[in-house]
Amino acid sequence: MARVLVPLASGCEELEAVTVIDLLRRAQIEVVAAGLTPGPVRGSRGTVLLPDCTLEAALQQDYDMIVLPGGQPGATNLEHDTRILALLKAMAAAGKFTAAICAAPKVLAVAGLLDGKRATSFPGALNAQQFPNVQLETRAVVRDGQVFTSRGPGTAMDFALALIEVLADRATRDQVEAGLVRPTTHGGSPSLTEVDFS
């Protein structure tokens, strides 16, 4: 079974963190949510998350993938944590998966993991002036080799489902997605026939 590390920094985007943790666990993927510091983590909207363990404890295990939630100042806190940057570089060097959403793709870029790669992020989190070697795209989820990036809270489900497909298989992804009862979209929003205004 795949094992995934989700580091939780103060000020993380809780919708992204919880969506990734929840959906991967629905796929029977082992997820370790690790706080950068001991104790609960307060997200960017004030939601308090309880990590499984500290990052120090989590680093005693090996992982197939690391997933960085975005949000501010969460992504900046990840970027300034030397343990996270070292782990990202080590995992990339070992051919493991690295993934980030929203503002967190900047952490991958700072670690040098996006050089010469296609990536996406929250608008403005990655800019061509600061990272001229990154090929910026606006798709919801971008995979380039072993690196996954995504746009923000609204793309968190698509992001998590893409991760499930690569960590498990398409059938598992489809099974998890079916259980979510997501509406069919037309132009990015549910059709009026699917919305009950009563």
**Strand (E) positions, 102-173?**
118-119, 135-136, 141-144, 147-150
Residue 55, token pair as written in the block: 């990052």
- Looking at 20, 88, 102, 157, which residue is catalytic? 102
Q: pLDDT over 70 for what percent of the chain?
A: 92
Name the residue ranges covered by the structural domains of the chain: 3-194
Q: Quickly state the pLDDT bin for 141 (edges 50, 70, 90).
A: very high
Alpha carbon 116 to its chain's center: 20
The answer to whether residue 193 scores a pLDDT higher than 70 is no
Q: What is the mean pLDDT of residues 10-34?
A: 98
Nearest to 36, CA basis, from 64, 1, 68, 4: 68
The CATH class given to the 3-194 domain equals alpha beta
Sequence-ordered list of residues with C-beta below 8 angstroms from that of 183, at least 6 positions apart, any chain: 190, 191, 194
Q: What is the mean pLDDT of residues 163-176?
A: 97
Q: pTM for this one?
A: 0.93
Q: Tell me, what's the pLDDT at 152? A: 97
Q: What is the mean pLDDT of residues 151-180?
A: 97
For the stretch 53-85, pLDDT in tens is 999 999 999 999 999 999 999 999 999 999 999
The answer to whether residue 144 scores a pLDDT higher than 80 is yes
Q: At what angle do helices 170-180 and 156-167 cross, to 10 degrees?
A: 150
Phi then psi for residue 196, to 5 deg, are -95, 110
Q: Tell me, what's the pLDDT at 185? A: 57
Identify residue 30 by its one-letter amino acid code: E
Q: Tell me, what's the pLDDT at 1? A: 85
Instruction: Share the mean pLDDT of the chain.
Output: 94
Euclidean distance between CA atoms 56 and 44, whole angstroms: 23
Q: Tell me, what's the pLDDT at 187? A: 54
Q: What is the mean pLDDT of residues 161-173?
A: 97
Identify residue 57 by its one-letter amino acid code: A
Cβ atoms of 61 and 33 closer than 8 Å: no
The answer to whether residue 26 scores a pLDDT higher than 60 is yes
Q: Quickly state the pLDDT bin for 198 (edges 50, 70, 90).
A: low
Question: What number of other Cβ atoms are within 10 A of residue 153's Cβ?
Answer: 20
Q: Does residue 12 have an active-site annotation?
A: no
